[in-house]
Amino acid sequence: MKNFELNEVQKLEGHTDRVWGLAWKPATGIDGVPAVLASCSGDKTVRIWEQSPATGCFQCKAVLEDTHTRTVRSCAWSPSGKYLATASFDATTAIWEDAGGDFSCVATLEGHENEVKSVSWNASGSLLATCGRDKSVWIWEVLPHNEFECISVLQGHTQDVKMVQWHPSVNILISCSYDNSIKVWAEDGDSDDWHCVHTLNQSNSGHTSTVWALSFNASGDKMVTCSDDLTIKIWGCDIIRMQSGDGNAPWIHISTLSGYHDRTIFSIHWSRDGIICSGAADDAIRFFIESKDDLVDGPSYKLIYKKEKAHEMDINAVQWSSMENNRLASASDDGTIKIWEFISAPGKKMHL
Amino acid sequence: MVSGLINANPVVYEKKERRTRSAPVDVDEYAAEEIDQLEIFEHIRDIKDPEHPYSLEELKVITEDAIEVDDKRSYVRVTFTPTVEHCSMATVIGLCLRVKLMRSLPPRYKVDIRVAPGSHASEAAVNKQLNDKERVAAALENPNLVDMVDECLAPSLI
């Protein structure tokens, strides 16, 4: 554990209520393009933070307000970084166009009966998924001229759907829910209909309470889920089979990380370097990596670092920068966002 | 609209005598004062039942013994006992308890609210809902529910 350090780079203040979600803008923080982070909050606003090239400090560059009338629960950038989608308890999803740092709301997606909890763009930016308390998952097709057409309403979860996330390379959608299950949705090649192709629940080594979040590894052959049952689970899939167009390829339970958390795990994110980070209701941030020690029973995962009291209150989101390997952002009930640098201590080699 | 009372004739118990704390001999005004069971009880004993003009204490929905506090870990657990097994007001009562403690305790506190084991027909579902902070947050954005909670909390603010 002493081989690693988590250094607080900056604390971002400005939201007047708990911060629920974070999203790093793609292709920023590299090649002289300043890093940009979006955050959303119970204060009904979204804030856009940009790193100053001169000082390296993040500053609030824009506040997106007066569109959502209730909590903004989740935000996601389109792959091109041109659009930001925001999901709100007001039952709508807003699409914001970023014209050089000037944001305007160009579309509002309506249809969910009540709170929208999560929004996700697919890898090509042609599809958008939303989910919510009405137990449904919606798939929207992105059309020209800022038009969005709902092409499927997916029923199957029996409770509140907490998060949707597209696979990083294949058009497979994953959702996780208050009903303790994870569902895999794929398009039927013949009819263009979307179906639930797998349900991962207690009967196949799944979670025993609310599944709050999920994240894929860089290559997309594994995903990690976290839950109110205080465990993290790793799932694997045959990526070759999936990439050849077979959405039915099953996701198999690989490992359960238990005994590390003692309150709900709200957020999980897998870095490009293979470091899994968790944010939990015990105010701590933890880091896990795959351990090569024991390959007899398949890969296992071990805790490599834990930051107690990373925030004053629950941590709702942890998000690795997609561009800068060591940079992490976290968001909390305490109303702040923190930017961190996770590094191996001087003189020590990072084993990954 | 509520067409009838869920529990038309609840048993009403006597209020517990209000204890006064004995003044400590050495007062170190800079020392952090520990939050104890009695203090938590004082915060919630006067919350009004959603459908009766009695306090949660008078209906024995809460007792001092059903409060667990670990000040060092900043942790509180309140276990309440609905007056009837099918009480549809259980989530509202739990919400009142949570809101009152959210407003009264320092933000570092972690609060768990649950119904007493065996006291409610949908125990697991009620507990899960009361401890899902996202659903609690959404509920507290519902003006009707907030009015109801505020009405129940009004006597406890005296």
How many helices and strands in chain A, by DSSP H and E?
1, 28
At B1, the pLDDT band (50, 70, 90 cuts) reads: very low
Q: What is the pLDDT of residue A322?
A: 86
* CA–CA dist A267, A265 (Å, integer): 6
Q: What is the pLDDT of residue A265?
A: 98
In 10 A of CB A211, how many CB atoms?
29
Among candidates A81, A79, A90, A43, which has minimal Cα distance to A63? A43
Q: What is the pLDDT of residue B24?
A: 54
Provide, as residue numbers in chain B, all residues whose Cβ is less than 8 Å from the Cβ of A73.
Answer: 134
User: Which residue of B lies nearest to A180 if distances are taken between CA atoms?
Assistant: B128
Provide, as residue numbers in chain A, all residues whose Cβ is less than 8 Å from the Cβ of B137.
Answer: 18, 42, 71, 89
Does the structure show a pLDDT above 50 at B19?
A: yes
Q: What is the pLDDT of residue A283?
A: 98
Whether B137 sits inside 8 A of A117 (CB atoms) is no
Whether B128 sits inside 8 A of A334 (CB atoms) is no
pTM of the model: 0.93
**Token couple for A270:** 């897998």
Provide, as residue numbers in chain A, all residues whose Cβ is less than 8 Å from the Cβ of B76.
Answer: none
Q: What is the pLDDT of residue B18?
A: 72
Whether A71 sits inside 8 A of B137 (CB atoms) is yes
Give the three-state DSSP class for A147.
strand
At residue B110, what are phi and psi to the nearest 5 degrees?
A: -100, 125
The vertex-A210 CA angle with A209 and A216, nearest 5°, equals 115
Whether A209 sits inside 8 A of B138 (CB atoms) is no
The complex's ipTM? 0.94
Provide, as residue numbers in chain B, all residues whose Cβ is less than 8 Å from the Cβ of A281.
Answer: 110, 133
Whether B107 sits inside 8 A of A312 (CB atoms) is yes
Smallest CA–CA distance, residue B55 to chain A, in Å, is 31
Does the structure show a pLDDT above 50 at B105?
A: yes
| pLDDT tens string A325-337 | 799 999 999 999 9
Would you call A263 an interface residue with chain B, using a CB distance cutoff of 8 Å? yes
Handedness of CA A175, A97, A270, A340 (dihedral sign): negative
Among candidates A306, A234, A312, which has minimal Cα distance to A2? A306
Q: Pairing state of beta strands A116-121 and A285-291?
A: unpaired
Whether A70 sits inside 8 A of B141 (CB atoms) is yes
* CA–CA dist A350, A242 (Å, integer): 32
Report, as an integer, the average pLDDT of B109-132.
Answer: 96
Please tell me which of the candidates A71, A117, A314 has its beta carbon nearest to residue B141: A71
Residue pair A45/A60 in contact (Cβ under 8 Å)? The answer is no
Does the structure show a pLDDT above 80 at B158?
A: no
Does the structure show a pLDDT above 50 at B31?
A: yes
Would you call B138 an interface residue with chain A, using a CB distance cutoff of 8 Å? yes
Whether B132 sits inside 8 A of A314 (CB atoms) is no
| pLDDT less than 70: residues of chain A | 1-2, 293-297, 346-352
The vertex-A108 CA angle with A105 and A112, nearest 5°, equals 150
Number of CB pairs, chain A paired with chain B, less than 8 A apart: 38
Q: CB burial class (10 A; 0-12, 13-18, 19+) of residue A195?
A: middle
The DSSP annotation for B47-106 comes to PBPSSSSSBTTTTTS--GGGEEEETTTTEEEEEE--SSTT-TTHHHHHHHHHHHHHHHS-
**Tally of residues, chain B:** 158
At residue A308, what are phi and psi to the nearest 5 degrees?
A: -75, 150
DSSP state of A320: E
Question: Cα A32 to chain center, whole Å?
Answer: 26
Please tell me which of the candidates A70, A73, A281 has its beta carbon nearest to residue B110: A281
Question: Cα A244 to chain center, whole Å?
Answer: 26
Q: CB burial class (10 A; 0-12, 13-18, 19+) of residue B67?
A: buried
Whether A210 sits inside 8 A of B128 (CB atoms) is yes
B139, A267, B125, A206 alpha-carbon torsion, rounded to 10°: 150
**Token couple for A231:** 């465990």
Whether B133 sits inside 8 A of A314 (CB atoms) is yes
Residue pair A310/A330 in contact (Cβ under 8 Å)? The answer is yes
Would you call B73 an interface residue with chain A, using a CB distance cutoff of 8 Å? no
At B33, the pLDDT band (50, 70, 90 cuts) reads: confident
DSSP state of B12: -
Handedness of CA B55, B60, B61, B63 (dihedral sign): positive
Whether B134 sits inside 8 A of A209 (CB atoms) is no
In 10 A of CB A69, how many CB atoms?
12
Element (H, E) at B128: helix B123-130
Only one residue has tokens 């929004």, namely: A119
Would you call B133 an interface residue with chain A, using a CB distance cutoff of 8 Å? yes
Would you call A43 an interface residue with chain B, using a CB distance cutoff of 8 Å? no
The vertex-A10 CA angle with A9 and A11, nearest 5°, equals 145
Smallest CA–CA distance, residue B138 to chain A, in Å, is 7
Q: What is the pLDDT of residue B2?
A: 45
Q: What is the pLDDT of residue B88?
A: 85
**Token couple for A249:** 């390829």
Would you call B11 an interface residue with chain A, using a CB distance cutoff of 8 Å? no
Does the structure show a pLDDT above 50 at B78?
A: yes
At B66, the pLDDT band (50, 70, 90 cuts) reads: very high
Would you call B106 an interface residue with chain A, using a CB distance cutoff of 8 Å? no
Only one residue has tokens 């709170």, namely: A115
Whether B107 sits inside 8 A of A313 (CB atoms) is yes
* CA–CA dist A187, B52 (Å, integer): 54
Whether A162 sits inside 8 A of B138 (CB atoms) is no
Q: What is the pLDDT of residue B4?
A: 67
For chain B, helix, strand, coil in percent to 5 are: 35, 10, 55
Whether B110 sits inside 8 A of A263 (CB atoms) is yes
